[in-house]
Amino acid sequence: MNETRKTQLLEKLLPPVVALLVAIVVGDFLILTFGQSPAAVYRLLLEGTWGNAYGIGQVLYKATTLTFTGLAVALGIRAGLFNIGGEGQLAAGGFVAALIGLALPAATPAIFGILLCTIGAAAGGGAVGAVPGWLRARFGAHEVITTIMLNFVVLALLGWVVSAKIHVPESLHTPEIRTGAVTRLSDIMPVFHGSAANLTLLVALATAGAVSWYLFKTRRGYELRAVGLQPDAAEYGGVDVAGVRWRALAISGALAGMGGINFVLGYKRYYEEGFATGAGFLGIAVALVGGNSPLGIVIAALLFATLSQGGLAVNALVPKQMVDVLQAVVILAVATAVPAVRHSIRASAKSVARSLVRKTPLDAPTPEVGK
Amino acid sequence: MSAARVPDVSATPVAVRMTGIVKTFGETIANRGASLEVKRGEIHALVGENGAGKSTLMRILSGMYAADAGSMEVETASGELRDVTGWNTAEAIDAGVGMVHQHFMLVPPLTVAENVVLGREPKRGVTIDRRAAEQSVADLSARSGLVVPPTAKVADLSVGEAQRVEILKALYRGAKILILDEPTAVLSPPEVTQLWDVLRKLRADGGTIILITHKLDEVMDVSDAITVMRAGETVARLRTSETTPRDIARAMVGRDVALALDAAGTAAPSGAAAPNGAPLLELRSVRVDSPRRARVVNDVSLTVAAGEIVGIAGVEGNGQTELIEAIAGLTPLSGGEIRIAGADASRLTVRGRGDAGLSHVPEDRHRRGLVLDYSIADNLILGQQHRFARRAQLDVARIDEHARRRVAEFDIRPANPQLPARALSGGNQQKIVIAREMGRDFQVLLAAQPTRGVDVGAIEFIHDRLRRARSEGKAVLLVSADLAEVLALSDRIAVMYGGKIVTVLPRSEASAEVLGPYMTGAAGVAMRGAGAA
């Protein structure tokens, strides 16, 4: 029993580690082609991220958004659904949070303001996620198509509303919210001065915990995972499969939408067009590397945030895009390493099995019964 | 009679010899040093329980799989043995080894002739010479006794006819050694008899036949020699004329077994002879339309009373699956009414019917009955998850306690409730389903193919539980493709053909001979119309 658990753990941990190693090796070659020393570049990358309080703050800030979008993708995948609509859901969540922050009277107690804005962000993202959910349940329209197309619709719509109705002149953002601002890390610990990190990261951690609880401890989570693994068996088990899919996409959208508060409530305190471009899509990579488990997603979000912040830090030596390439290599390596690693682990188990077989001589005569 | 055919066994040349075959799939070992020796011109039965590695061994022989270790030799046209270890399917076909699979590999919209010549079409210029194809198929058909109209579309054929097309295909490719993988699973009793005639004819023409089966009556009926496999190994080689079903069963299982089913009909159910309990399951003019076929279930009315097992016999694909799914709430009714324990359940959800007292052992445990990646404990609450929750949260302590009790009571092995269901053998997986559906409070049990793919020991256990449910006053509706099983367990037997119930007989009046004509549609009123629908 212990042995199988060890194998399972190995199967989970090895792919991201192998992927990271592959990315580092590929990175070495890239850096060499720019005539730089890999050691120097990697040192700079680490110093610019984990080497000082500002860097750490920026990594934490970016990891916060990625945790939300990663959780959104993972919850979908657990239900057997691929939500690629994170971009639009994230933007919609941020926008609704900003609207509520603008609409509430300035005297609203901070805790209520934050709560209402966060609920609004979840509702905004959830509404965007619910549309493909409904289309899937009602018409069987595939969510990969509908979620990705909805990104364009939502972003264009928000762009029009902001620029036509509520933007501050000469800018692409709304006025500052009147309530709902989340405390920045630098307000508590001045050493983080200048970084965008804020207490939304606690909300992200709590959300990761809540998603974990929902998936693995509740009846609805049990049913959701059953639908993702074997929809026919779930149906047999009395689960409303279409309803679960619908709900899962709505919740997935709500999780992505909550990511919007990191920027809107915690950092700039207004909604700005394109505030999180790419974070929705990067959530897919975070979920993949994190193995669709909430804890894994938090760690993977930190990894991708480090790479993304590190890109800025190494810009003096190599182009920032080199780090984008590294991110892509990590994703590709995980995507290939997952089956490859699993296969090699199974193969070693197989050779063990075969050696067991060989203990019984192959050419031993078969008994002749009934003679 | 078979003894007379092969008087001097040692003198007959060997057609196939496999030694020390090892084949693993991931962590499963399908063959561990299996061996097989088949003489030319014999019908050789390869028997063993499900999962014994018979099909794997034959797929290796036909070139579909390569063995991890071991060697094999096949007789060439000139009569000597050639080492063919690790060959591929094309080489096997060229050497005259053909396999008829359990699941047919035919192209339904093409005609019989087109299917048979597929891949080796007679050509006229660049086009297929259709007439020549049809002619050669007709000739082959006449020679072998495999009667099928060459110009009919395969989609319009019955399962038995489709199987004949598969055999014709192998013969057209020049098969001298024909492998049949459980060919009778889809056939009615008269079709089985016809198949045996064809095989004997092929043998008389010098063909060698390897028949994979786990039905002992078939082995005794048609084979000359027997190889028994157990757990991936060859455990016995027998001459059919010198052995008994009991010896074969003992070799298959490795111990003595109560052969409740060996002679269908002799083991009549004891007790509960005249069930006079209240009707617990009532079907009134139930109709089901599937997206592909209207009236898959056509006007079925049937009642199952408390303390009664009603068995539905019939060749697979005559609406049994759809009927069971409709009763369970998985397929919508097009008409009629279903009553469970006296109340109308026609509009209830799956869960609603479960709460009304319906339990369901589905025919496909891998697709329906289990979430294979869930633990045994989690699978044991599937369908009952709302009873194991406190508000939103699952009651893990109760789930674990429930799992420990069920695993012990139903002897599920290995007895670790945290293992994924996928890791268990077929028999133990089925025990999870049985434990879940029969371990709870229920009134009506739908048991669809409850012992399919299950080893003999587990079959005894499952039959015992079904009988116990009857004596506890439950209503059991049993569907099985295995006529012997239906006869051994049921108080009344209904036969389904073409979506209708063509007859219902008390056990005392039913036997394979009586039921056979109903199963093929040769008896019963509405067969013509139903067959065309």
Residue A247 phi, psi dihedral angles, 5° rounding: -65, -40
Nearest Cα of chain B lies from the Cα of A220 at a distance, in angstroms, of 7
CA nearest to B232 within chain A = A357
Across all residues in chain B, what is the average pLDDT?
86
Q: Are strands B28-39 and B14-25 parallel, antiparallel or unpaired?
A: antiparallel
- Nearest by CB to B350, from A222, A236, A366: name it: A236
Nearest CA among B407, B377, B409, B411 for reference residue B394: B377
Min mean pLDDT across A64-78, A229-243, B104-118, B328-342 is at B104-118
Write down the pLDDT at residue B266: 39
Nearest CA among B12, B152, B18 for reference residue B85: B18
Residue B259 at interface with chain A, using a CB cutoff of 8 Å: no
CB atoms within 10 A of CB A367: 12
**B268 and B305 belong to one structural domain:** yes
Write down the pLDDT at residue A343: 61
Q: Which residues of B touch A357 (CB under 8 A)?
A: 22, 24, 29, 32-33
Global pTM reads 0.77
Over residues B79-93, mean pLDDT: 89
How many beta-carbon contacts under 8 Å exist across A and B?
A: 125
**B477 and B466 belong to one structural domain:** yes
Over residues B79-99, mean pLDDT: 90
**B467 and B526 belong to one structural domain:** yes
Two structure tokens written together for A265: 């409530």
User: Cβ(A110)–Cβ(A269) under 8 Å?
Assistant: no
Position A370 pLDDT exceeds 50:
no
Contact B236 A367 (CB under 8 A): yes
Position A219 pLDDT exceeds 90:
yes
Min mean pLDDT across A190-194, A340-344, B376-380 is at A340-344
Position A2 pLDDT exceeds 70:
no
A251-307 residue pLDDT tens? 999 999 999 999 999 999 999 999 888 999 999 999 988 989 999 999 999 999 999
Q: Is A370 helix (H, G, I), strand (E, B) or coil?
A: coil
Residue A241 at interface with chain B, using a CB cutoff of 8 Å: no
Residue B174 lies in a domain: no
**B376 and B504 belong to one structural domain:** no
Q: Which residues of B touch A223 (CB under 8 A)?
A: 385
**B282 and B411 belong to one structural domain:** no
Q: What is the CATH number of the domain that holds B30?
A: 3.40.50.300
Domain boundary (B406, B432, B458) is at: B432
Contacts of B39 (CB under 8 A, 6+ apart): B6, B9, B12, B13, B14, B15, B208, B225
- Nearest by CB to A366, from B29, B32, B235: name it: B235
Residue A364 at interface with chain B, using a CB cutoff of 8 Å: yes
**B447 and B504 belong to one structural domain:** yes
Min mean pLDDT across B200-204, B291-295, B410-414 is at B291-295
Write down the pLDDT at residue B1: 42
The fraction of chain A above a pLDDT of 90, given in percent, is 64
**B17 and B65 belong to one structural domain:** yes
Write down the pLDDT at residue B101: 83
Over residues A304-322, mean pLDDT: 88
**B345 and B454 belong to one structural domain:** yes
CA distances from residue B422 to A215, B351, B373, B425, B428 in whole angstroms, order as listed? 21, 25, 6, 8, 10
Write down the pLDDT at residue A169: 85
How many helices, marked H, and strands, marked E, lie in chain B?
A: 18, 24
Position B412 pLDDT exceeds 50:
yes
Residue A354 at interface with chain B, using a CB cutoff of 8 Å: yes
Half-sphere exposure of A35 (CA within 13 A, CB side): 1
**B248 and B267 belong to one structural domain:** no
Across all residues in chain A, what is the average pLDDT?
88
Residue B411 lies in a domain: yes
CA nearest to B353 within chain A = A238
* Surface of B (46-85) touching A: CB under 8 A: 68-70
User: Cβ(A41)–Cβ(A318) under 8 Å?
Assistant: yes
Contacts of B160 (CB under 8 A, 6+ apart): B186, B187, B188, B191, B194
Q: Which residues of A touch B48 (CB under 8 A)?
A: none
Residue B171 lies in a domain: no
**B340 and B448 belong to one structural domain:** yes
Write down the pLDDT at residue A329: 86
CB atoms within 10 A of CB A349: 16
Min mean pLDDT across A4-13, B61-70, B235-244 is at A4-13
Q: Which residues of A touch B33 (CB under 8 A)?
A: 357, 360-362, 364
How many helices, marked H, and strands, marked E, lie in chain A?
A: 15, 0
B264-309 residue pLDDT tens? 333 444 444 445 688 999 999 999 987 767 788 999 999 999 999 9
Residue B278 lies in a domain: yes
**B408 and B530 belong to one structural domain:** no
* Surface of A (203-232) touching B: CB under 8 A: 217-220, 222-223, 225-226, 229-230, 232
Q: Which residues of A touch B388 (CB under 8 A)?
A: 219
Residue B107 lies in a domain: no
Domain extent at residue B420 = 372-432
Position B533 pLDDT exceeds 50:
no
Position A366 pLDDT exceeds 50:
no
**B346 and B448 belong to one structural domain:** yes
Write down the pLDDT at residue A10: 76
The fraction of chain A above a pLDDT of 70, given in percent, is 89
Half-sphere exposure of B130 (CA within 13 A, CB side): 5
Residue B237 lies in a domain: yes
For chain B, the domain total comes to 3
Write down the pLDDT at residue B276: 64
Two structure tokens written together for B441: 């409070």
Interface ipTM: 0.84
Contact A236 B385 (CB under 8 A): no
Write down the pLDDT at residue B264: 39
Min mean pLDDT across A260-264, B250-254, B508-512, B527-531 is at B527-531
User: Cβ(A168)–Cβ(A247) under 8 Å?
Assistant: no
Sign of CA dihedral B334, B340, B344, B350: negative
Distance CA B297, CA B498 (A): 8
